[in-house]
Structure 1
Amino acid sequence: MSIRPYRDIMRRTSRQIMVGNVPVGGDAPILVQTMTNTLTTDAQATIRQIKQAEEAGVDIVRVSCPDVESTAALKEIVTNVNVPIVADIHFHYKRAIEAAEAGAACLRINPGNIGSSDRVREVVKAAKDHGCSIRIGVNAGSLEKHLLEQFGEPCPEAMVQSALEHVRILEDNDFFETKISVKASDVFLAVAAYQGLSEACDYPLHLGITEAGALRSGTVKSSIGMGMLLWSGIGDTIRVSLSADPVEEVKVGFDMLKSLDLRHRGVRIVSCPSCARQAYPVIKTVETLEKRLEHISTPMSLSIIGCVVNGPGEARETDIGLTGGGNGTHMVYLNGMSDHKIDDDGLVEHIVELVEKKAAELDAEKAKSGLNA
């Protein structure tokens, strides 16, 4: 029996596949994905962007392969990064074969628009020969003509049927290393499609609200849609599709998972919006701390509260807490207990030092427990 059942999320049971050396689905963690926006033919620029995403914690990166020059560059890209690469393929079956040969860990295709059954068989053979999984990517904006004629417009039922038709093509070729997405820019449509698909199959699902928008509006839209699904236990990988730096997609993805207690990476900051009671500039302090603590990957919590109204209560629930006090003296809490006071001078530096020290302690404890396991 859970202590706090209202916090429990029961994840949908899915089969597990491998994307390179990373397990997806089953009991694997929910993974965060992004996509490069550099020219794939510019291998060095693409590698740099992937490495920046790696530093932010990304698990999988998708790279567009629209032409033979892109798949030619893919081999150099794959061998110089540490995360599995998904090759984004549309229409041309030869690009999929070339991407598999170049070392892609996964092919993002729609079997229905690859061409004849013979071409699909060739793609599946290449995937099997090179250890690739396949993501079926259904999008409300590019549904098949026969489904639009049948249903009249993009709708959840049409998207689910599209996904299942594509799955059957792969299954008929004895291929089951598959994950599926049914994306739409309409939150209601995407959520309903994923809900329907989650009941119709046991393949792992890749979540996304496609073309969500700019950093702020896209974050809100994605959080509403994917948050509903994740809270319902649906989803094995996620991508927050933003018109922004791919690193921002990764950060938002992890923040989303942290908010639902589904995955933890880095410092989770609990902070107040500030008001006339604040005893130090909360907003500026939090902005600075977020930047200064980006290098911390150890999961831990930090509360930054401007006054004593909610400060002590929040501090009891976090690893490190700061509560604003009068006359330039503020209380620092360690492990939920009041520990010492500090003044305004060097406040940020002091908190950064405490967080870095706590992270080192937690890492040492984890390493020790691993050795003793």
Structure 2
Amino acid sequence: MTTRENTKRIWIGPVPIGAGAPVAVQSMTTTHPQDIEGTLREIEEARRAGCEIMRVAVPDEEAARAFGELKRRSPLPLIADIHFRWKVAFEVIEAGADGVRINPGTLSQKALREVISAAREASIPIRVGINAASLPRRIRERFGGATPEAMVEAALEAIKLSEDLGHAQIKVSLKASDVLRTVEAYRLFAQRSSYPLHLGITEAGPPFSGAVKSAVGLGILLAEGLGDTLRVSLTGPPVLEVRAAYHILGALGIRERGVDIISCPTCGRCEVDLPKLVEEIQGRLLHITAPIKVAVMGCVVNGPGEAKEADVGIAGGRGEGVLFRKGEVIARLPEREWVPRLVEEVQRLAQQYATSGGCKGSSESPSHGSAP
């Protein structure tokens, strides 16, 4: 895997983006901003899961008026998402937005100039958010459709406009709902520009299939060293997006946060209800932020050996199982004690990480690693 060090540095509130900073995890609220308490609940849940930047849709004047209260109380930097009714950007920028997302396909040239100028005056970044489904018509016609080349051209045009207006605090996204077109668009753009990239597969779908699609697309790009922030776009609450993002980053060894459960797919030797056991353990450990590998195996014969790379784990048989640490058996337990003893051991390890400074790699860290 390569690390992309040549992107430009911008800041979203206190979060550094690009130029070697850790890949930042972002999500988006699902509520209307007028529902201030509901929106703040989503933001806080996402924050607890490790979210570092939150985007908020601002579809109308009512949303713009509510944005100020959200900004005042939000524990995370907020990016205002602007489409069509572009004058709301002035109000959210005045209210302290940490960034503004604009889409050249939903804003006129006049609107783009006005919003970019307002962002420049406030010294906040813009995200040039290109979506294949909403490219400017003249670009679609020139390229014969929403091709990767057309997406890149739309982004470069918006960047030039911003630079001509004296504003170079920019990050860029080039999203489509299909993986291959998205991947190619990001690759082509990275060959022509060094602005930081926000990765995503737009409209990826429901939690399971959407996470799979995002893992494939984002995983390819991240493994090639591309990407400075990312969002896993799912039809569901933001906290699911954040958890999926960290699973993707963790699988690539880029950032690790929370428990990584290693569990066997089960076979004829399995004598326990492993899916139920894994689900219970996973639920009991969601609050753990330290990067700990936990094995849950259904065979006392091979379990410890196959999961020897795990920090801790359980291998269950009929009515009895073994608790092990780094492949070494440390206790034999009756079934009723499996979950509580495993959870206890994980919590002990998490405390050790915290007291020893083992949880590294926050957005303020200069290198990739485990997230706070």
TM-score (normalised: structure 2): 0.92
Per the alignment, residue 146 of structure 1 pairs with 138
- Of 320, 338, 357, 1:329 maps to 320
C-alpha deviation, 1:279, in angstroms: 3.8
Counterpart amino acid of residue 204 in structure 1: P
Deviations 1:330-367 (A, max 9, x none): 22222443222212122111111110111001111118
- Of 36, 40, 59, 1:66 maps to 59
Per the alignment, residue 269 of structure 2 pairs with 277
C-alpha deviation, 1:54, in angstroms: 1.2
- Distance change >3 Å, CA 138–CA 309, structure 1 → 2: farther
C-alpha deviation, 1:167, in angstroms: 0.5
- Alignment size in residue pairs: 360
- Of 72, 83, 88, 1:95 maps to 88
CA RMSD of aligned residues (A): 1.9
When structure 1 is superposed on structure 2, of 39-48 and 256-265 the one drifting more is 39-48
Per the alignment, residue 126 of structure 1 pairs with 118
**Do structure 1's residue 366 and structure 2's residue 357 form an aligned pair?**
yes
Contact residue 112 and residue 166 of structure 1 kept, 8 A: no
Name the CA distance, whole Å, in 2 between partners of 1:368 and 1:116: 46
Name the CA distance, whole Å, in 2 between partners of 1:368 and 1:52: 20
Per the alignment, residue 258 of structure 1 pairs with 250
- Mapping 1:1-373, distance limit 5 Å: 8-11=1-4, 13-110=6-103, 113-117=106-110, 119-308=111-300, 310-325=302-317, 328-366=319-357
C-alpha deviation, 1:121, in angstroms: 4.5
- Distance change >3 Å, CA 47–CA 278, structure 1 → 2: same
Contact residue 20 and residue 84 of structure 1 kept, 8 A: yes
Deviations 1:249-299 (A, max 9, x none): 111111111111111111111111112212432211110011110110111
Deviations 1:136-189 (A, max 9, x none): 000100111111111111101000011000000111111111100000012111
Name the CA distance, whole Å, in 1 between partners of 2:128 and 2:302: 48
Counterpart amino acid of residue 30 in structure 2: N
Per the alignment, residue 5 of structure 1 pairs with none
Please list every run of 5 or more consecutive structure 2 residues that lacks an aligned counterpart in the other structure: 361-372
Please list every run of 5 or more consecutive structure 1 residues that lacks an aligned counterpart in the other structure: 1-7
| SS of 1:280 mapped into structure 2 | coil
Name the CA distance, whole Å, in 1 between partners of 2:271 and 2:159: 59
Name the CA distance, whole Å, in 2 between partners of 1:316 and 1:49: 37
